[in-house]
Structure 1
Amino acid sequence: MSTYIYGIVAGPHPDLPERMDGVGAPPLPVRILRCGELAALVSDVPADLRPGRRDLEAHHGVLSEAGAPGAVLPMRFGSLAPDDEAVLTILVQRADHYAERLRALHSRVEYNVKVSHNERAVLHQVLGENPELRAMVEANQLLRGGSYEQKLELGEKVAATVRAREASDADHVRRALEATTEAVHAEPAGSGWLTDLSFLVHRDTAGGFLCAVDELRVNQPHLDLRVRGPLPPYSFAEPGTAEPAG
């Protein structure tokens, strides 16, 4: 058997609910492995564990439950150690780092916001704001037998204008939401979204953050905002989400 690591908590963290099952088949109970001022949320799993979708849900469930009464420093999904002793060794070696991160993340949660354009709405908006493009479309050059070069020019101008709008909208979303948060993490470009942002939010101010999201939806109807949270603060566990032991 190996030891699966869900996250790190402070040593005095309350006990987990009785018989909270973790990952693996069959799932075994999650337990708290204490070491001085720190503790790890772990469970026993087969050494050849191949985590699947149910395991991902179990991983998130453990962290959400553990994060309710106190800060939890989440480990990435699939973090394994050879045994409990290896986990205890890591807790000792990185004690200062884990303690600092737990203090920084106390009472904080993460909200992920993915944004895309309503294509029809943004095209209408782009044409409304650009007299040149609007005139070209109103003249029906694209639909009434304009030359190939004319059609290509119009298509390129529309695409370039939409791309510029994507960049400005992404910046606007970030500025509008980060004012109510403590930190922001952006996923790299090319994720398939206009922007993909994670925000670190204090539990006490989460209402203000969600109000800011709702205000964006009302004032920017051409944007599709998809919000997940509250989540364990995965994106803010670093500097230094620990490498799995072993």
Structure 2
Amino acid sequence: MSSTPDLAADADRPEVGTGVWLHGVVRDVDPAVLAAIPGMAGAPVRAVRAAGLSAVVSTAPLTEYGEQALRRNLEDLAWLERAARAHHAVVDALARRGPVVPARLATVHHDDARVAGQLAARRTELTGLLDRLTDRGEWGVKGYQVPGALPRAAEETGTGGAGAAYLRRRRAQLTAREQGQRIAAEVAAAVHDTLAGYAVAARRHAPQDRRLSGAPTPMVLNGAYLVESARLAGFTALVAALGERHPELRLELTGPWPPYSFAEERPAGPALTVREPAC
């Protein structure tokens, strides 16, 4: 929800009525298509049209999506996951039919007039982004460290008994681990640079924690790449070739995704942003 003055809520008074949750902006969309896509409250999404563009929105009850409710719910991981999945399902359905500028999660406007006003005010920017995203898709490449593929440090020899031998082995293990982490980081940077050179645009996001990735080894690359649809086969082949060339990393190609990483000319900020003007 926006923190703009006209939407600020009285902390002592529960919010009533409805707001407008923004999913994304497209050039145009068939109402029949929207009728089959459930929005945040389960009802079909709809389009707000202005300035030659269409904003795809959900009617959002303020009891759940108002200023106060959002600040509370965004701290609830179960609620956040449900909201993110519902939002993504709409954006993904739009992306499968053409270019879309996804809105950030929790972008809620006061009413349709405010949405239309944003379309008019940002028409040049949004049109440029839609042009840039046409016939292109976002693909993710994650790289995970493969410790077993790294050369082990040579074990030191010497005398001094069992205690000294243990310390030497332990020091060798730590040295090998540090070397492995350094090499993996260097390889990840080289892989990203190579993929970025092939793609139209690229973003390198912070690696995910293992609790989120579910991987047994650390993630050292979390890249997003905007790829021409006509060059996708070449990009896929390049990822495979880089994986064979660098056994230190296990590369994982995912996508296509809606272009979340490229919805702005500048690198995106935190994914969970509560603000009105973001698209």
TM range (shorter): 0.7 to 0.9
Aligned to 1:177: 195
The answer to whether 1:60 aligns with 2:82 is: no
Output aligned runs, 1:136-175, within 5 Å: 136=156, 139=157, 145-146=163-164, 150-151=168-169, 153-175=171-193
Contact 1:86 1:245 in 2 (8 A): no
Displacement of 1:216 in angstroms is 2.6
User: Of 133, 139, 150, which residue of structure 2 is paired with 1:111?
Assistant: 139
Displacement of 1:33 in angstroms is 1.0
Matches of 2:208 and 2:83, distance apart in 1: 27
User: Of 238, 242, 245, which residue of structure 2 is paired with 1:219?
Assistant: 245
The answer to whether 1:209 aligns with 2:235 is: yes
Unaligned runs of 5+ in 2: 1-17, 66-72, 74-78, 210-217
The answer to whether 1:134 aligns with 2:154 is: yes
Question: Which one-letter code corresponds to 1:52 in the other structure?
Answer: L
Displacement of 1:232 in angstroms is 0.8
* Per-residue CA distance 1:100-148 (angstroms, 9 max, x = gap): 11111112211122211122x23xx322xxxxx3253xx499x954356
* Per-residue CA distance 1:51-98 (angstroms, 9 max, x = gap): 533332222221222122321001112211111111111111111111
Aligned sequence identity (%): 25
Q: Secondary structure at the match of 1:126?
A: coil
Matches of 1:207 and 1:140, distance apart in 2: 54
Displacement of 1:225 in angstroms is 2.0
Aligned to 2:52: 37
Contact 1:22 1:55 in 2 (8 A): no
Matches of 1:173 and 1:101, distance apart in 2: 27
Displacement of 1:189 in angstroms is 6.3
Displacement of 1:149 in angstroms is 5.5
Unaligned runs of 5+ in 1: 128-132
Taking structure 2 as the reference length, the TM-score comes to: 0.73
Question: Which one-letter code corresponds to 1:102 in the other structure?
Answer: L
Matches of 1:222 and 1:245, distance apart in 2: 43
Aligned to 1:9: 26
Displacement of 1:209 in angstroms is 1.4
Aligned to 1:197: 223
Matches of 1:155 and 1:231, distance apart in 2: 40
Aligned to 2:108: 80
Aligned to 1:20: 37
> Aligned residues, how many?
232
* Per-residue CA distance 1:142-175 (angstroms, 9 max, x = gap): x954356534542442233113202221122213
Displacement of 1:222 in angstroms is 3.5
Aligned to 1:186: 204
